[in-house]
């Protein structure tokens, strides 16, 4: 007997296609596959520095990060164009984005000599991502209130562009120096060469990304505040 759904005071049988949709926990559509590949690529960025010498590790990490960032646009576009939006994709897409950003920032800050111009915006970005994730978990069924906004999409784009430019800067710094940085030297160059220009642009972009990140975090907190008040107060 086919599953039924409620309609008014009666019940109507679901179509076979809809019944299969309810019975299948996940659909391996092209957009979902791209999202899973992006999630897998996130730790791959860090692994590049374990299995390859520099500056090859920088270039491979940059290529992997750019390729994964491109899939972030394609999976959403294809899901809408082909009418293949799924709950699995909606759940996994922001997780893959956050994993990419968090892991890449961790790698860049680790190779930057703890440069304060990078640490401050990086800490702001990581704080917001953890805070909003915890907020969504607390809200549970009401987490739909924190749906992705156009500003949040710009936030993610700015983060990925900034991280890509910073990876370019670290790779060029290694090439221009012709050697690994000495102790206390740090990794982010201070010269005006190609590495310095790329890194300077990356630092400006990461501060812009941090500002957008905090703005979206405040927007989500504002929307959630009515649901965080104790009853009777």
- Residue of higher predicted confidence among 119 and 27: 119
> What's residue 209's pLDDT?
94
Residue in 163, 232, 165, 219 with CA at minimum distance from that of residue 194: 165
CATH node for 28-227: 1.20.120.1760
Q: Tell me: the pLDDT tens digits for 149-174? A: 788 888 888 999 999 999 998 888 77
Neighbouring residues of 192: CB distance < 8 A, sequence distance ≥ 6: none
> What's residue 7's pLDDT?
47
> What's residue 121's pLDDT?
94
Q: Tell me: the pLDDT tens digits for 57-111? A: 889 999 999 998 888 887 777 777 777 777 777 777 888 888 999 999 999 988 8
* pLDDT at position 20 over 80: no
pTM of the model as a whole:
0.75
- Residue of higher predicted confidence among 121 and 175: 121
In this structure, the number of other CB atoms found within 10 A of the CB of residue 167 comes to: 27
Task: Measure the CA–CA gap between 70 and 84, rounded to whole angstroms.
Answer: 19
Q: Which two tokens stand for residue 214?
A: 């905090």
- Residue of higher predicted confidence among 32 and 218: 218
Q: Where are the domains of the chain?
A: 28-227
Average pLDDT over residues 118-147: 81
Q: Tell me: the pLDDT tens digits for 65-78? A: 999 888 888 777 77
Rounded to whole angstroms, what are the CA distances from 200 to 40, 80, 204? 30, 37, 6
> What's residue 192's pLDDT?
58
* pLDDT at position 3 over 60: no
């Amino acid at each position: 007997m086919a599953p039924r759904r409620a309609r008014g005071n009666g019940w109507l049988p679901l179509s076979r296609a809809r019944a299969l949709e309810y019975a299948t926990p996940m659909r391996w559509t092209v957009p979902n596959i791209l999202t899973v590949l992006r999630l897998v690529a996130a730790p791959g960025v860090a692994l590049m520095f374990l299995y390859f010498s520099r500056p090859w590790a920088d270039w491979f990490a940059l290529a992997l990060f750019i390729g994964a960032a491109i899939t972030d646009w394609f999976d959403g576009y294809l899901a809408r164009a082909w009418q293949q939006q799924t709950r699995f994709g909606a759940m996994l897409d922001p997780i893959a984005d956050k994993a990419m950003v968090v892991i890449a920032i961790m790698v860049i800050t680790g190779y930057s000599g703890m440069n304060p111009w990078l640490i401050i915006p990086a800490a702001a970005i990581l704080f917001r991502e953890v805070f909003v994730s915890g907020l969504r978990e607390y809200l549970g069924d009401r987490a739909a209130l924190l749906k992705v906004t156009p500003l949040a999409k710009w936030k993610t784009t700015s983060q990925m562009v900034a991280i890509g430019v910073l990876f370019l800067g670290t790779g060029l710094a290694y090439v221009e120096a012709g050697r690994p940085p000495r102790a206390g030297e740090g990794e982010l160059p201070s010269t005006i060469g190609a590495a310095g220009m790329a890194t300077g642009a990356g630092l400006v972009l990461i501060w812009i990304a941090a500002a957008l990140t905090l703005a979206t975090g405040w927007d989500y907190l504002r929307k959630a505040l009515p649901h965080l008040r104790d009853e009777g107060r």
